[in-house]
Amino acid sequence: MIKTWRLQTYRLLGDDRPASSLARGINAVIILLIVLNVIATVLETVASIYAAYAVYFDRFDVFSIVVFTIEYIGRIWIAIDEKAARGQGRFMARLRYMVSPLALIDLVAIAPFYLSVFFAIDLRVLRVFRLLRLFKLTRYWSALNLLWRVLRDEAAVIGTALFLLLVTMVLASGAMFLVERQAQPDSFGSIPAAMWWTVTTLTSVGYGDVVPVTVVGKILAGLISLIGIGMVAFPSGILAAGFIEQISRGKKVYREQVDAVLAEALPEDAVAATLEKSRAELGLSLQEASDIVATESEKIQHRQYCPHCGEALHHDSPTD
């Protein structure tokens, strides 16, 4: 009976199961609860609002913690039924899930509440930590999963770009320290002090609270500004290229999955559920997925019928 309950829970919460109407409904409720938690956390920082509705805020937080805790425990319980856990023992399968990024996000969402029970934690700090529950949306929002895949695949290149930006900032700060320290000892009296001006200049923010006054300093500031335009845009270009690559790769994978599913001649409901789950995981829009399905269906149609006379083609099965 326990196994039956676990399988029923898996059909509702499992990440690799075809989503039923009830499972989609549960996901929608959890997404709404996450959004309401963020809104509540923001409103609680307004002293007058929190003073008037403190009881309701606290009750809502406890209710949310109960729901998120049940969800977290439930996902650990059904971890042994996930496809990725096949061939592993119960303990290792659940441990593997508990250290996965999504499980750690779920844990971070509830951990501050339980820590506050055993340790004295400033309530204002605890409320801010509740904003971390927003990261739980990565499980339900395919666009965030797409962003995560881009960051993971381009981590080395992005790290190189950030390192170059850091080197540029240090060198620019050192140069401004040398040329401006005598004219403005308060603003450029040390390299760390000069870094504030360098950061605002490289990022093209330019607050204007600190500006070079020497001729050499102004010339150097102009060069640093030009360098900053390219350096700050560099990571943005990497991310844009990564998104394009991920979307292209996702379309290719989805096209292969469409071919495989259509070739199996599965029931229409099973085909729709399988392809919808793949579409959501790959971060494709409904229009993109629909175009791919239409194109691949047409290709299969052409392979089955003669393009000239329209008669069905008979393929002889291979013989020994």
Question: pTM (2 decimals)?
Answer: 0.63
Tell which wins on pLDDT, 174 or 303: 174
The pLDDT, as a whole number, for residue 249 is 85
H, E, C per residue of 156-215 = HHHHHHHHHHHHHHHHHHHHHHHHHCCCCHHHHCCHHHHHHHHHHHHCCCCCCCCCCCCH
Cα angle for residues 218, 222, 224 (degrees, 5° grid): 115
The range of the structural domain enclosing residue 120 comes to 2-140
Task: Decide which of 140, 167, 189 is a domain's last residue.
Answer: 140
CATH of the domain at 312: 1.10.287.70
Q: Is the model's pLDDT at 259 over the cut of 50?
A: yes
169 with 270, same domain? Answer: yes
> Average pLDDT, stretch 21-48?
87
pLDDT greater at residue 145 or residue 169 = 169
Work out the percent of the chain whose per-residue pLDDT is above 90. 13
Strand partners, 90: none
CA distances from 25 to 10, 39, 62, 144 (A): 15, 21, 22, 20
Is the same domain home to 117 and 247? no
DSSP 122: -
- For residue 253, the 8-state DSSP code is H
Cβ contact 198:188 at 8 Å: no
Most confident of 141-145, 229-233, 306-310: 229-233
Grade residue 238 by pLDDT with cuts at 50, 70 and 90.
confident
Tell me the per-residue pLDDT of 45-81, one tens digit each, with 9 for 90 and over.
888 998 899 899 989 989 999 999 998 998 888 888 7
Name which of 225, 247, 235 is nearest 292 in CA terms.
247
